[in-house]
Each structure stands twice: as structure tokens, then as C-alpha cells.
Chain A
């Protein structure tokens, strides 16, 4: 069964460093998302991406964040200058098309900022 994959599973970085989190969505999916979950808290939407552009972003998704689909398979989230409060689990998700209900989630990347 096709699934969303994410690498790395765990990333440790120093405050102020740039990190890139990688995702490979399900191959015939066209809509991509990033969510984050700070330990013990709810899952929060960051950004959605469709047709090679951001379609929606939350107030969390400030200028420190960017997303990219560099090729036909990868979808990346970059944090330019990490802060301690960026420590969280980051989930990538994909769906077949806009308006289709299910979003399928990857296993997540745990980001620890020291």
C-alpha cells in the first residue's frame, strides 16, 4: 500500500541553524501539507501546497519557513534559523486532489533544537 515517507526520523540541531525536512508524498497525490505537533499539544496546520505554490498558510508559517517541491517526488520544509520553540514533531501529509477528504500522514520527523 502506498504511503507517505519522511526523512530523517529525528533531527537534532543547534539554535540558529537551518534545517530541511523531507517528505515523499504518495505518488498520484497532488495536494501536500505540513503540520507540527509540539510535545503534548494538538496537531497544528502549517501550510498547504498545490500546483507548485502555497495555497494556504497559518500564522505559524512566518518568513523563517519555506516549502518547495524540488522534483517530481520530494516535498521539503525548510526552517532558516531554528528557534528553541521550533522543537516539535513535523508531519507531512498528502491528498489526491483538492476537495477530496482524506489526508494521509507520514510518520513524522522529530526536530530537537538545542
Chain B
């Protein structure tokens, strides 16, 4: 079974600075997706960024980028120019992508990010 580990229960960053959230995963599959979801105090899960395992290029969405290291099974999220609105719980998630594979998302325990003004 796949597992996702987020080793940082809490992180903090100064507004306008850069922060990196860590995620590692374990799988025997070669084809999969990885995601970062944001959960603000409103508790709605919002997709931040996704990465297909077959793509070598790291995904980028505006101030959010990932460092995907397939061999190391590492998938970190970098937030640049942090804003107060970035304060939230961040979840790393895994999903199989192979034909007939599981559609379920497997989540890590989350990292609570605080942004200090």
C-alpha cells in the first residue's frame, strides 16, 4: 500500500519570504500523480499543484513550485513571496495513474503553515 509522510507538523514563514514543505512517499508503482492541497481555516480542500510522475519537469503554479525527486520519492512544495493568505494546512497526496489503478487519494498528515506579518 502507498504511504505519504509529511515530517513537519508545523512551519512558519515571514511574509514575503520563501518556505519549503517536505513530503516523501512510498510506492512500488511507476505511474502516479502527486498533489499538494491547501486547507485554510474554512476547511475546504483546494488543489494547489499537481505533478505527473512521468514528467521530469517540476510543476509550477505562480508562486508555488515543487521539487520532484522520483528516485528519492520526494515531493516538496516551495512557496515564494509568502502571503498572509497562504496560512493554512497543507496536505501532500498520492494517486495511482496506471490503467485500472486506484482512484483514491492517499494523504499525508499535513503541515500547518503560519505566515507572520
Interface residues of A (CB under 8 A from B): 31, 33, 35, 41-45, 48, 50, 55-56, 58, 89, 91, 93, 95, 98-99, 101-108, 110
- List 5 contacting pairs A-B, 8 Å CB cutoff, sorted by A: A43-B93, A55-B103, A99-B97, A101-B35, A108-B43
Interface residues of B (CB under 8 A from A): 33, 35, 37, 42-47, 50, 52, 91, 93, 95, 97, 99, 102-110
Measured CB to CB, the closest approach of chain A to B50, in angstroms, equals 5
Contact present for A101 and B109 (CB under 8 Å): no
Tell me the total A-B contact number using a CB cutoff of 8 A: 61
Contact present for B52 and A41 (CB under 8 Å): no
Contact present for B44 and A108 (CB under 8 Å): yes
**From B97, B102, B107, contact of A42 by CB (8 A):** B107
A63 vs B36: C-alpha distance when bound (angstroms): 32
Report if A105-B91 is in contact (Cβ < 8 Å); known contacts: A33-B103, A45-B106, A98-B103: no
Contact present for B104 and A105 (CB under 8 Å): no
Chain A residues with Cβ below 8 Å from B103 are 31, 33, 48, 50, 55-56, 95, 98
Please give 17 more A-B residue pairs, beta carbons under 8 A apart, in addition to A43-B107, A98-B103, A110-B43: A33-B103, A41-B109, A42-B107, A42-B109, A43-B45, A43-B93, A45-B106, A48-B103, A55-B103, A56-B104, A89-B43, A93-B105, A102-B47, A103-B47, A105-B37, A105-B46, A107-B44
A104 vs B47: C-alpha distance when bound (angstroms): 7
